[in-house]
Structure 1
Amino acid sequence: MLLACSGVLAAPTSVSAVSADGGSRITQVKVYPGSATVERTARVPAGARSLTIRCLSPQLDVQSLQVQADAHVRIGESSVKVQDRDLDKECATPLDDQVRDAEDRVASAKAETDSLELATSYLRTVATVPPSEPHSGPGTPGSASINGTTDTLRRSSQDLLLKLHQSKRRQEAAELALKELTEERNRIAGPKARTSTVTITLASDREGELRLSYQLRGPGWSPSYRAALDSTSGVVKFERLALVAQNTGEDWRNVQLALSTGQPTRSTAGRLPGPWTINVAPAEQFTTEIRAMPAPAPVAASKVTLMSMGDRGAETTPAMPNFDVQVSDDAYATEFTVPQRITVPSGGQRITLSLGSLDARAQLVSRTSPGVEPAAYLIAQLSALPGVWPAAPVALYRDGAYVGQGRLDNNSDELSRTGLSFGRDERVVVTAEPQQQNSGSAGFTGANVERKVQHAYRVESRHQRPIALQVLDAAPVSQNEQIDVVSQYDPLPADKAWNRRPGLILWSETLAPGSSLRFTAAHTLRYPKDARLQESK
């Protein structure tokens, strides 16, 4: 429900001033990661001397408040007051009235249930007190008050118990309805909602328009993507998505929405280095300590949500909407402008908005790391995508089937080298042969150890067409001059430092349908006998 409401109040002056009731509405919202700029418009009546806009979000940043108006409307000072929403009756929402009505229905149902339970208790007393027993108190029936038969008692108790059961059901339904309304009201405005009130001093001889903009902390948006691979054509369709959410206490209903990659909540100036001094430690200290400057604290990622399409309250049939998002890039930020008007209710619901799509042709390879896992995966290697694609999660689809989640990083060489993985390639069979290893003495005096390790893998293709195959394996890398490493491969690898990582071996081959290839890597390590090796994989 829209919490934004406003009124026009007359400020006390020495001359007569116009007092009228007006309304403000949100017309534009620009959402950043972690904040949003909201713009409201309000009509200024002729002769008005002040304008009060009530029921704004309590998260309003006073320092960001800006007031603009038509040329003939003169603006004076402005003030902001934050108070509990209950103190301003004009900020009541339809949900408040519905909650009060629901509370009345619960009270009525509970009163009926209690009265029927009292009657039932009285009836039980009548049935259990012997007729000959004297009165023990007011209202206690004796033999003279039982003027009927057991059949009359049965009919009376049956009718009473049935009414009691139905009354309890009505009470349960009323309490459930009250709980749902209360949770919805708390979701929108919180259990202890507060509101901001902005009062603007002005002077206007004729009717005009006033625009109020302010910054809100908390709302935000975050990117996400969908990538759908057509394995036959090798084309990947990327769809840019945005998740927008806000819990400010005021609904953004039927507004013009823009999403910006700028972050005004971040620091406006970077940290500067301090002096680096070196001195001799006092005589009692024998070590010199050089302290590195602390690294800047990482900026927390902001959480984001989206919006519903159009104004749900519209009674007329709207024209066919245009969903082509306009993208504008400047030197420091990218802005996405949504062409249709959007409704983003307060309460934190995550709404997904499409920001456009792009088709990219990929090179498909089956990649396996048999030393780690005897399985192959289908990889799409692509060139960098044009435009702005911030690093974000991506939902992966292969030939129309969902295969899982990945991460898209268009700002590095991840797409061209590592690529996007679209699940296992079940038609490639990978076998890792047992590792062969032996060691012995080496050198004229036998002061060295010679250790030989061999890895062997076999990859078979059951595809009906040739496939590009990549096999990855780790080779030992010496980090000490006392350790000598000699490696031999069959066939020769295409890269001995794949993805700029020394010791990561890449075989790249074309595998014919129904054929198989064997890959071997033999490593010889020589090091002194008294050396203790430290290995990490």
Structure 2
Amino acid sequence: MKKISLVLIALVCIHFATAKNGGGNTVKAALNAVTVYRTGAELTHQAKAQLAAGNNELVIENISNALDPNSIQVNCDGNVTVMGIEFSTDYLKEEVKSPTVRLLEDSVEKISRELDKTRSSLNIVNDLISVLKANKEIKGTQTGLSVAELMKLMEYYKTKSGELQNELAALNQQQVKQDKQLKKLNEQIAEEQNRNTKSAGKLILQLSCAIAGKYDFNISYVTQNAYWTPFYDLRAANIASPLKIVYRAKIFQTTGIDWKQVKLSLSTSTPTQTGNAPLFKTWFLSYINPVNFYNNTLAMENTITGLAGRVPGLSLNEVEATGFASKIKVRGLNSITSDTAPLYIVNGSEMSATDFSKINANAVKNIEVLKDAAAINLYGTRASNGVIVITFKDGLDDYITVSDKELNVIFDIDLPYDVPTNGKAQTAVLKEYEVPATYQFYAVPKLDKEVFLLAQITDWEKLNLMPGEANIIFEGTYIGKSFIDPSSTQDTLNLTMGRDKRVVVKREKLMDFSSVKFLGANKKQTFTYEITVKNNKKEAINILLKDQYPLSQNKEIEVELVESDGAAVNTETGVLNWKLQLAAGESKKVRMSYSVKYPKDKLLNL
């Protein structure tokens, strides 16, 4: 009895000591916002935990398994002090399989069982065929087999052999189908499992809590296993219409956790920076290939506001989670009756106060308050308490807020997004622009035998474009792909809209006007080219035609432009530009001629 009492006392003491020190506590963090950079992403989680007074150890799960430990930030209110943070990866935690993977694995198990049965049947049939072949030798009594017995034996062998061979062929065919089906299922499982969910990340926090209670934690960190790339759609109905630029983003992530219904922001910067003061080093000149990179950091702003404070002239009470109030009054309007509710007009239709209170504030594009005569003139006496006119956002473009910062641009998407951790591109539409454009045809027949259509736009800096691939849709037809390079110092940005085979260009060397002459120790060659352009379209076009002649950096080599046929000549680059106007069905010719004089014992790349 004394031993039992001592054990009970020890257990009670351990219980009180654990309660006093807080003990261990495990909670799951909810991901609610993500800022994706060109390289990397910043994830923001929220978690709630019950803490005891004194020291606590809190384990926060559902954290990415690939993060920068130096970027971890944990915030709580003043009653809780964070004394230590430890990040660890739990490799022993069982992987959570999606319903799709479980269904596929069940199918694999079923097909595998059927395949085993097929293989067993194949072995049996092959054994029977072997037995039949081993016993096909005819052995009778000393007097031999009768004709009837021989015919009966042969008929039996023929029938049985045919049955076994047919069964063998059917089983082989069945095995091939099952093998193919099993291979496809395993490949699909491998595709589904490419999600970086083999292990889970968790944070272990050492906390000191002044007052026991339930506390909210905000956790943020940077992971390198996510990024986004821009791409575009360039759409034009014809050469007389404005150009529509659809700005899109491809988002990739393998952070180990699925992003479900998160507030998503896309930033053009990267979350890395150097922390040391700069020092001069010896500067050596060398040849380089310039690479554009981003090396700036920016604080993330994630705020979602409701109706409160957005519209002047309103008094709001009892603000709901949707962002709207359950009781709204138009300030400046009073009534002796108990009914002071305004009239609600949503997208042109009247709506009840109950339905109005259920509207998601993030879906509202425009809010207008009407009162007095302005309200009554439009909606009659029922609008005596004022009118709230609301217009919903139309299309994803209305849900995008562009913040043009000093060093970068941030696209805030108000709609919650799902991005699974499978490394596949998830597409988001960022903005749609319709800009005035001047269309011009462009040809460089020395380099390409076809004619290109260019869309020239001004004030392109306001579009926040980034280098990226573009799909070209002209006159309702997909033309192909192009590339937008906004790193231009020109006032006009040229966007390639594809090739037009209805405009033909041809460049040929005129042998009658080309010659080779020897002048003492020198050799002089003359080259003459004629370029023909024909417009086979039904409307007139403008075309920019380019060619070039060589330049010399050697005093022994003399180059002279003999004929330019009215071209604008850039003597620093050797480029000739012809701006031509061609009516429908019209063709024009231009001519270029140049000479090169150099020592006759030398070879030039002519």
| TM-score w.r.t. length of structure 1 | 0.73
Which digits, 9 at most, give the CA deviation of each residue in 1:346-365, with x for residues without a partner?
A: 11111111111112222222
Q: Is the 8 A contact 2:25 2:57 kept in 1?
A: no
Quick check: 1:54 aligned with 2:61?
yes
Partner in structure 2 of residue 525 of structure 1:
596
User: What is the alpha-carbon distance in structure 2 between the residues aligned to residue 118 and residue 451 of structure 1?
Assistant: 83
What displacement does 1:157 show?
8.6
* Displacement after TM superposition at 1:517 (Å): 2.2
Aligned partner of 2:585: which letter?
G
Say whether the 8 Å CA contact 2:72–2:219 is kept in structure 1: yes
Partner of 2:150: none
Question: Can you list the C-alpha shifts for 1:387-434, whole angstroms capped at 9, x where unaligned?
Answer: 311111211221111112111122304783754242124134545353
Q: What residue number does 2:604 align with?
A: 534
Q: Report the residue type matching 1:471 in the other structure.
A: L
Shift of 1:490: 5.2
CA deviation profile, 1:111-131 (whole Å, cap 9, x unmatched): 655765676678779878979
Give 1:323's aligned residue.
396
Give the AA of the match of 2:576.
I
Any unmatched runs of 5+ in structure 1? 1-9, 134-149, 277-290, 303-315
Give per-residue Cα distances to partners, 1:13-42, cap 9 Å, x unaligned.
362747776432111111112211111111
Map of 1:393 onto structure 2: 469
* Cα distance change, pair 239–270 in 1 and its aligned pair in 2 (3 A): farther
Structure 1 residues 336, 197: CA separation in 2 closer, same or farther (over 3 Å shift)? same
> 2:502, 2:537 within 8 Å by CA — same for their partners in 1?
no
> In the alignment, what sits opposite 2:565?
491
SS in 2 for 1:63: helix
- Please tell me whether residue 503 in structure 1 is matched to residue 574 in structure 2: yes
Contact 2:122/2:172, CA 8 A, preserved across alignment:
no
Q: CA deviation at 1:294?
A: 8.5
Task: Describe the SS at the equivalent of 2:473.
Answer: strand
After superposition, the Cα gap between the structure-2 partners of 1:21 and 1:372, relative to the gap in structure 1 and judged at 3 Å, is: closer
Structure 2 residue matching 1:248: 3-state secondary structure: coil
Looking at structure 2, the residues matched to 170 and 460 of structure 1 have their Cα atoms a distance apart, in angstroms, of: 59
Equivalent residue, structure 2, for 1:79: 86
More deviation, 409-418/209-218: 409-418
- 1:168 and 1:39 map into 2 onto residues whose CA distance is 51
Aligned with 1:31 (options 27, 30, 36): 36
State the alpha-carbon separation in 2 of the partners of residues 174 and 266 from structure 1. 51
CA 1:463 to 1:125, structure 2 compared with 1: closer, same or farther past 3 Å? closer
2:531 corresponds to which of 457, 469, 483: 457
> Partner of 1:349 in structure 2?
424
Tell me, in whole angstroms, the C-alpha distance in 1 between the residues paired with 2:59 and 2:550. Answer: 74
Q: 1:208 aligns with which of 197, 203, 215?
A: 215
What is the aligned length? 472
2:382 is matched with none
| One of 243, 258, 271 as aligned partner of 2:265 | 258
* Cα distance between partner residues in 2 of 1:11 and 1:41: 30
Which runs of structure 2 are paired with 1:44-443 in the superposition (5 Å)? 44-45=49-50, 47=52, 49-84=56-91, 87-89=92-94, 92-94=96-98, 105=110, 108-109=113-114, 112=117, 175=182, 179=186, 182-184=189-191, 186-189=193-196, 193-202=198-207, 203=209, 205-265=212-272, 267=274, 273-275=280-282, 292=285, 323-324=396-397, 325-385=400-460, 386-413=462-489, 416=492, 419-430=495-506, 432=508, 434-435=510-511, 436-442=513-519
Amino acid at match of 1:534: L
The 1:78–1:377 alpha-carbon spacing in structure 2 relative to 1, beyond 3 Å, is closer
Q: Is the 8 A contact 1:367 1:376 kept in 2?
A: yes
Of 531, 542, 547, 1:473 maps to 547
The residue identity in structure 1 corresponding to 2:605 is E
Query: 2:8 matched to which residue of 1?
Result: none
Query: Secondary structure of 2:70's partner?
Result: strand
Q: Taking every aligned residue pair, what percent have the same amino acid on both sides?
A: 21
Query: How far apart, in 2, do the equivalents of 1:163 and 1:448 lie?
Result: 85
Change in 2 beyond 3 A, CA 1:110/1:428: closer
Contact 1:238 1:359 in 2 (8 A): yes
Contact 1:384/1:410 (CA < 8 Å) preserved in 2?
no
Could you tell me how far 1:219 is from its partner in structure 2? 0.8
Counterpart amino acid of 2:201?
A: S
Amino acid at match of 1:388: N
Cα separation, 2, equivalents of 1:185 and 1:227: 33
- Deviates most, 169-178 or 338-347: 169-178
Q: Cα–Cα, structure 1 residues 458 and 270, in superposed 2: closer, same or farther, change >3 Å?
A: farther
Deviates more, 1:57-66 or 1:115-124: 115-124
Deviation, structure 1 residue 82: 1.9
Distance 1:270 1:51 in 2: 38
514-523 or 401-410: which moved more?
514-523
